[in-house]
Amino acid sequence: MIMDYTWFYVESNIVSIIIFVMMLFRELGTVGRQSKQVIFINIIFAHIMYFLSDICWALILGEYLPSIPFLVSAVNILNAILLSAITGFWFVYAELSQGEEYITRFKIRLLILAPAMISALVMLILFVFFPKTVLTEDFKLTLAYYIVFLSMPVLYIIASTVRSFIRAFKKENYAFRSIYIASAIYPAALALVGVIQTLWVKAPMFCHGCSIMMLYVYLTSLNDQVSIDELTKLNNRTQLKKYIASEAQKPASDKKDRFVLMIDLNKFKQINDHFGHIEGDSALKRASDALKISCSECPIKTFIARYGGDEFIIIAKTESEDLVRKLCSDIKETLIRLNRDAGSKYELTASIGYAGYSGDIESFQTALGEADKALYKEKALRK
């Protein structure tokens, strides 16, 4: 590296560090952090450390730091450890963000991160006991170094990218498809900029790529926090309003008749009163699962939202009332089945009312009132 490239490289990494430090402070300032937020903080911190280590390596290549065995080895060992940590933690974060229950167990998480730890240990052993396998006499990195350096990160990248993309295009996941796609794109982009930087050492592509993609993920995550109901992982009321407004803005030629379905859980207050609010939350999750499953198996294009409390709304894009009736029946049957399979000590059923609307906001408001009346008429018949 010549002087200009060295300091340009260093400055680029410093800018990336500032961006990640800003995200780190915001995350550290949140109250009641969940497991995925803790993992995300670890990812941010690992990036910051990687950029610092990369600065040291740039200064060594630019001959601003002495090219001695200890310093060269320490920097490259640290790079390998941090890259494995970033990609390993990212896989865990993606699985947690996408609601996978198995990853919540500490032992499973430790097992998943074990390959990254083994890779780091192997790198340490090679540099300490077999330095010639990873460094030449003039302190150039060998092919063996790059094989060990990239083996585990590549596996984590492939796993998180493939799994996230598969989930993103499942019909029942459309409500939070954006975060799935972000989870898939980030590691893929990481791999791409890593390859470019390996081929063109002087270009600080890795720090630039990481910063751009992490900002994309971060903004997507923030958007989901204000549009997705945290408990049920369905669209919230705000997102419902945005959806109705966007549908109303479509030209008349694109508008088709549709139905508003209002779903309300029967005797939900009794569940909370007799079994506690934690069990009440479980009932709401079960209800949201029933809605997702039923809508995913239905040929109708649907939009699901939690309206508030134990009330849910579905927008069904169809002119067929028979299909809507079938969807209502499927929701009720699926909810009963899921509740039975969970071994609940209480009955969990739903009442559903529906009404047609044309796509305009005024029509939606009218249909919502009619669906609400139909819902309580069904509740009255149950009593």
CATH number at residue 182: 1.20.1070.10
Domain of residue 373: give its range: 237-382
198 and 261 housed in the same domain: no
Of residues 50 and 141, more confidently modeled: 50
> Among 202-206, 284-288, 324-328, 376-380, which is the least confidently predicted range?
202-206
Burial 101-112, CB ≥16 within 10 A → b, else e: eebeeeeebeeb
215 and 268 housed in the same domain: no
The answer as to whether 232 is a domain residue is: no
The answer as to whether 43 is a domain residue is: yes
Classify burial at 31, counting beta carbons within 10 Å of its beta carbon; exposed 0-12, middle 13-18, buried 19 or more.
exposed
pLDDT at residue 97, as a whole number: 80
71 contact partners, CB below 8 Å, separation of at least 6 = 56, 60, 65
Cβ-contact 295, 314 below 8 angstroms: yes
Cβ-contact 73, 139 below 8 angstroms: no
The answer as to whether 12 is a domain residue is: yes
Cβ-contact 26, 222 below 8 angstroms: no
220 and 243 housed in the same domain: no
Domain final residue pick, 166, 193, 227:
227
Collapsing DSSP to helix, strand or coil, 233 comes out as: coil
Q: Rounded CA gap, 315 and 259, in Å?
A: 6
Q: Is 242 a residue whose pLDDT tops 50?
A: yes
Could you report the per-residue pLDDT of 299-308, keeping only the tens digit for each? Answer: 888 899 998 8
pLDDT at residue 235, as a whole number: 86
Q: Is 233 a residue whose pLDDT tops 70?
A: yes
Q: Is 1 a residue whose pLDDT tops 70?
A: no
Which range in 15-24, 132-141, 175-184 is most confidently predicted, on average pLDDT? Answer: 15-24
Q: Which two tokens stand for residue 106?
A: 């500490």
Q: Rounded CA gap, 341 and 268, in Å?
A: 19
Q: Is 73 a residue whose pLDDT tops 50?
A: yes
Mean pLDDT estimate for the chain: 86
Q: What share of the chain is helix, strand, coil (3-state, %, to 5)?
A: 70, 10, 20
Bridge partners of 141, per DSSP, are 135
Q: Is 334 a residue whose pLDDT tops 90?
A: yes
Q: Is 18 a residue whose pLDDT tops 90?
A: yes
Q: Which two tokens stand for residue 93?
A: 């974060």
- Mean pLDDT for 152-158 is 90
Of residues 18 and 67, more confidently modeled: 18
If we measure between CA atoms, which residue out of 324, 299, 277 comes closest to residue 171?
299
What is the model's pTM? 0.71
41 and 91 housed in the same domain: yes
- Mean pLDDT for 268-291 is 89
pLDDT at residue 174, as a whole number: 61
pLDDT at residue 255, as a whole number: 62
Could you report the per-residue pLDDT of 19-46, keeping only the tens digit for each? Answer: 999 999 888 877 656 778 888 899 999 9
165 and 133 housed in the same domain: yes
Residue for token digits 């400055």?
A: 11
pLDDT at residue 172, as a whole number: 59
The answer as to whether 294 is a domain residue is: yes
68 and 119 housed in the same domain: yes
- Taking phi over 0 as left and psi of -120 to 50 as alpha, with beta for the rest, 316 belongs to beta
Contacts 24+ apart (CB under 8 A), 110-114: 112/88, 113/88, 113/89
Cβ-contact 358, 373 below 8 angstroms: no
Q: Rounded CA gap, 149 and 168, in Å?
A: 30
| Percentage with pLDDT > 70 across the chain | 94
User: In the structure, how many helices (H) and strands (E) does the chain have?
Assistant: 12, 4
256 and 205 housed in the same domain: no
Number of domains in the chain: 2
- Mean pLDDT for 174-198 is 80
The torsion defined by the Cα of 338, 339, 341 and 343, in degrees rounded to 10, comes to 160
The answer as to whether 360 is a domain residue is: yes
Domain final residue pick, 204, 227, 250:
227
Q: Is 6 a residue whose pLDDT tops 90?
A: no
